[in-house]
Amino acid sequence: MTDALKRLSDEGVAIWLDDLSRKRITSGNLAELLDQQHVVGVTTNPSIFQKAISGGDGYEAQLSDLAARKLTVDEAVRMITTADVRNAADVLRPVFDATGGQDGRVSIEVDPRLAHHTRATIAEAKQLAWLVDRPNTLIKIPATKAGLPAITEVIGLGISVNVTLIFSLERYREVMDAYLAGLEKAKAAGLDLSKIRSVASFFVSRVDTEIDKRLDALGTPEAKAARGKAGLANARLAYEAYEEVFSSDRWQALDRAGAHKQRPLWASTGVKDPAYKDTLYVDDLVAPGTVNTMPEATLEATADHGSITGNTIAGTYEQSRAEIDAVEKLGIAYDDVVNLLEEEGVEKFEASWNDLLKSTEAELKRLAPSEG
């Protein structure tokens, strides 16, 4: 094992695990990752919960109780997922305390079926914050058009938010604007801004997957040369936008009031194409004030053979713009790609949520007590 994870952490990158299950909590594995692998946070999403709960390990006793109470499947899923997040938050609480609230965070997502409904998203975020009832929770809200005003409203209430499913640079700027507007609302309401935290989850590998597919269809030498570059370029230009927004006069006024920057979080960092190094989206996205949330396989790969050589974003902006332009010149429209990825991202999470509801409903029926 190398010390790559420690070096990554020393460079100012917070290492979060993109996975959670009850077994991971109860076995002590999560605590072990904090202790030995420099993990300081956890993210979940509907796909992760669907995999964990469908696997069944550790959930039967609670499912049996929920079946006896005749809860609806929607209520049961929320009881199960919030229990896992609450327990994980307790494991991470020492990290939260040691970092002054910056890390030691666990994220839980609003029902993905609400992604295009602002008021329902706000109501769900408030309910989740109440249900989990831990200060180190982040409520995940998707960066859809309907999600943007919800982000402002929820931040304005003093609830910390992980904004998810960000693919485009334009949408990322709108997310940062929504965060600042929320902080301004919170300030006007007299809330303590130092208690509010946020990350913006900018997706990386999915951009390469979609653009590479289109490049492969072209099949030209120029298209081949452009493979595997757009995901990193897009993320690096997002960091440029972050530096710009969080040095603005608008930000400075909030900074003086005790607010914290909304950190960029690199999401979807598992490498999908075996032609690329399996630590690509870790090694090449190192910059201070960022978060990298990794599936366990990527975490282990980084620990084993990651190459952490200092800041790998500084000085890349001109090259990154050229790499995005090169794809555009080949007839692959950036806006078309990122809009498709957002639509698909919402659809995939909704499909996972529906699968979770179906499998949970089947378990509730199986475990339901006979009448009498």
Closest CA to 283 of 171, 166, 204, 195: 204
Q: Which of these is catalytic: 23, 51, 140, 185?
A: 140
Radius of gyration of the CA atoms of the chain, in A: 21
Give burial (CB, 10 Å; 0-12/13-18/19+) of 130: exposed
Known active-site residue 51? no
Classify the C-alpha dihedral 260-109-280-328 as positive or negative: negative
Q: Name the E strands within the chain.
A: 13-17, 39-42, 105-109, 137-142, 161-166, 198-203, 263-267, 290-294
The secondary structure of residue 144, as a DSSP letter, is: S
Helices 60-68 + 334-367 axis angle, to 10: 70
d(CA 308, CA 282): 8
Residue in this structure with the two tokens 């499909």, named with its chain if needed: 351
- How many angstroms separate the CA atoms of 313 and 286, rounded? 6
Phi, psi of 203 (to 5 degrees): -85, 140
| Segment holding 116, helix H or strand E | none
Cα separation, 51 vs 57, whole angstroms: 10
Annotated catalytic residues are: 140
